[in-house]
Amino acid sequence: MVQGFAADLHIHTFLSPCAGREMNPKAIVGRCLDLGLDIIASADHNSAANVEALAAAAEGTGLTVICGMEVCTKEEVHLLTLLPDLSAMHEWELIVAPHRATGRNIPEIFGRQWICSPRTGDITEETALLSAPTTLSVDEVVDGVDALGGISVPCHIDRRAFSIVAQLGFVPDHLDIPVLEISRTITATEARAKFPATQGRVLLSSSDAHTLEEIGLGCSLFWLEEPTFAELILALRGEAGRYVQVE
Amino acid sequence: MTVREIAAVLGMKCVAGGVGLDREVSSGYVSDLLSDVMANASDGGIWVTSQVHQNVVAVALLLDLAAVVIAGGLEMNEDAIARAEAEGMPILSTKMSAFETVGRLYELGVRGDS
């Protein structure tokens, strides 16, 4: 029997240069538990270096952490890529890393990028340029993630910046894109009225949190038998009686 | 001016849709936001962009543009080239930047719809 799980699948850790410095994995997990969230996903730009630390911080708490990365494609479209487990995410990161922009991060301009060790909690600085688009196309990301058993979700389609609808005009038919993310500033009803691309697709609302206060401001209720990735995928595809409920 | 004349004068290479080269160009537009192009470009226009996704071809067909110019020496995706070829939508490629390309088009008398 399905039951409801509150999910926020778009949270930035302090690895994202634009995120608050308080966004360390332990603090994020603490805030999510306070809010009563059941499932979260990390969504750092072009890197999944803090996914393991986030999963480690959530261990034993009852909070489910999904492996995620927000990839910026060469068309400057943001895609939330969700992978089944740490090993698939590691493989995905090996594919993405060589396609990152060359050059190093300039902390004074873009912000700092911190990696938290899952074992010791030690913090090191990521020097790669994570804030720039990769050289991967939308098609390459969707197909690459599909091949690893994951799913790609176009982010904040209602915004002007980095939205697949704004950048590409519409969602290409040939791609496996069953679900679209809307930002917390728009309701599902408004999004469905405004964007034809929503027709026949599941909608997902997430916070895109860059600070602790923003976590959960956008969230979705997942109706699943248990909070696993396999069940989550069914809901994101609207299959087998699993579904996503958005305000 | 036709697309063919423009390509010849500015040294642009036609990478797909050669059958459409004799179309007259009635105006010009430059943007990399496809939603913006869909809202503002006009039929018969020539569109300068650095987007190389196959949606570029779809938008050009939707608006019945005369041609698309891929600026900055960027290579268009293969599926996009195949689609443009199949639909006869001329895709011109140039090493010039979008800025330079638009300037040269303006010199040739191409104007935006104001």
Q: What share of chain A is helix, strand, coil (3-state, %, to 5)?
A: 30, 25, 45
What is residue A247's predicted lDDT score, i.e. its pLDDT?
A: 84
| pLDDT tier, A191 (very low <50, low <70, confident <90, very high otherwise) | very high
pLDDT digits (tens, 9 = 90+) for A36-93: 999 999 999 999 999 999 999 999 999 999 999 999 999 999 999 999 999 999 999 9
Task: Answer whether B33 touches A (CB < 8 Å).
Answer: yes
pLDDT at position B114 over 70 = no
What is residue B71's predicted lDDT score, i.e. its pLDDT?
A: 98
Q: What chain A residue is nearest to B77 in terms of C-alpha separation? A: A137
How far apart are alpha carbons B40 and B34 in whole angstroms?
Answer: 10
What is residue A54's predicted lDDT score, i.e. its pLDDT?
A: 98
CB spacing of A170 vs B53 below 8 angstroms: no
How far is CA B53 from each of CA B1, B33, B49, B87, B101, rounded to the nearest angstrom?
Answer: 27, 12, 11, 16, 20
CB spacing of B51 vs A165 below 8 angstroms: no
| pLDDT tier, A21 (very low <50, low <70, confident <90, very high otherwise) | very high
| pLDDT tier, B113 (very low <50, low <70, confident <90, very high otherwise) | confident
Mean predicted confidence (pLDDT) in A160-186: 94
pLDDT digits (tens, 9 = 90+) for A119-151: 999 999 999 999 889 999 999 999 999 999 999
State the best of B34, B52, B56, B63 to mutate against chain A, taking most chain A CBs within 10 Å: B34
What is residue A233's predicted lDDT score, i.e. its pLDDT?
A: 98
Listed in sequence order, the DSSP H helices in chain A are 25-35, 51-58, 86-96, 107-110, 138-147, 164-168, 188-194, 229-237
pLDDT at position A106 over 80 = yes
How far is CA A212 from each of CA A54, A65, A156, rounded to the nearest angstrom?
Answer: 14, 16, 19
pLDDT digits (tens, 9 = 90+) for B60-79: 999 999 999 999 999 998 98
Query: Which has the closest alpha carbon to A140: B53, B49, B85?
Result: B53
pLDDT at position B104 over 90 = yes
What is residue A73's predicted lDDT score, i.e. its pLDDT?
A: 96
How much is the mean pLDDT over chain A?
Answer: 96
pLDDT at position B91 over 80 = yes
Q: Which residues from A are below 8 Å from B when comparing CB atoms? A: 75, 137-139, 165-170, 172
How far apart are alpha carbons A144 and A218 in whole angstroms?
Answer: 28
Neighboring chain A residues of B58 at a CB cutoff of 8 Å = 169-170, 172
Is CATH 3.40.50.2000 correct for A3-245? no
Task: Answer whether B82 touches A (CB < 8 Å).
Answer: no
Percent of chain B whose pLDDT exceeds 90 = 87
Question: Residue A214: which residues within 8 A CB-CB, separation 6 or more?
Answer: A207, A208
Domain boundaries, chain A: 3-245
What is residue A114's predicted lDDT score, i.e. its pLDDT?
A: 98
Chain A closest-CA separation from residue B77 CA (Å): 9
Percent of chain A whose pLDDT exceeds 90 = 94
ipTM of the assembly?
A: 0.71
pTM of the predicted structure, to 2 decimals: 0.89
